[in-house]
Structure 1
Amino acid sequence: MKQIGSFEEWIKTIERENELLLFVKTNNCSVCDGLFPQVTALEADFPIPFYQVNAAQVPEMAGQLSLFTAPVVLLFYGGKEYTRFARFVRLEELKQRIVELIERGRAD
């Protein structure tokens, strides 16, 4: 999973990638720490790029993406948010949404 280190880097990434997953975490978040390896493991199963950002280190991301909790998993398509999962993420539903995102990309 690639790291986003600044809001400017995020803007360049979202302009470059047609489809992507963004995992947002923060410091001292046990739910984030538990979910992160599970989401990371999905990266091998899907042909879209996975990114992560620590909202405590890049606070502009939280403001710009209207993030009020952590963790948050966001899927993007064509530079726009496709779906979001916040706090407690059901992995089966996340997998289903990633498949939908990939199929949408193939249809376009």
Structure 2
Amino acid sequence: MKEMTGLHSLVSIENFIKQHKFSFIYISRPGCTVCHAVLPQLRIVLDQFPNIKLGHINADDVAEVAGRFSVFTVPVLLLFIDGTEFLREARFVHFEQLEQKLKRVYRLYEGE
């Protein structure tokens, strides 16, 4: 399963996004049952993309994340490429569609 880096401040989040060409940010809360169901599926999908790095933010610990990334519900899945938000999914994620989107974007940008 895809490795996941815990991100505990806005600074660590910004650094994570800057350090990796492909940064995937997963924002959740401990009491969110949907979040607990989404994460294992997300990690399996991301296993196909070795250069996408996965970071996790607990929105309860980093409350500022809501304002910084316009988060109104959890879970939120954000893909950044070269520091720019490229893909956003929230709450109920359709994994087949997400996988297809990731494949297209990954092929396009990995070839650079």
TM-score by length of 1: 0.92
Please give the alpha-carbon distance, in whole angstroms, between the structure 2 residues aligned to 1:101 and 1:78.
Answer: 12
With 59-68 and 92-101 compared, the bigger mean Cα shift is at 92-101
Q: Deviations over 1:6-49 (max 9, x none)?
A: 11101111111111211110131011011111112223221111
- Return the structure number with greater helix share: 1
Runs of 4+ in 1 over 6 A off after TM superposition: none
**Is 1:92 equivalent to 2:64 in the alignment?**
no
Contact 1:77–1:101, Cα closer than 8 Å, also in 2:
no
Q: CA RMSD in A?
A: 1.2
**TM-score normalised by structure 2 residue count:** 0.89
Q: Which residue of 1 aligns with 2:19?
A: 16
- Structure 1's unaligned 5+ residue stretches are none
- CA deviation profile, 1:61-95 (whole Å, cap 9, x unmatched): 12100000001111111101101001000001111
Could you tell me whether the CA contact under 8 Å between 1:24 and 1:54 is conserved in 2? yes
Asked whether the equivalents of residues 59 and 65 of structure 2 are also in contact (C-alpha less than 8 Å), the reply is yes
- Contact preservation (8 Å) 2:16, 2:23: no
Aligned position for 1:36: 39
Distance 2:58 2:20 in 1: 20
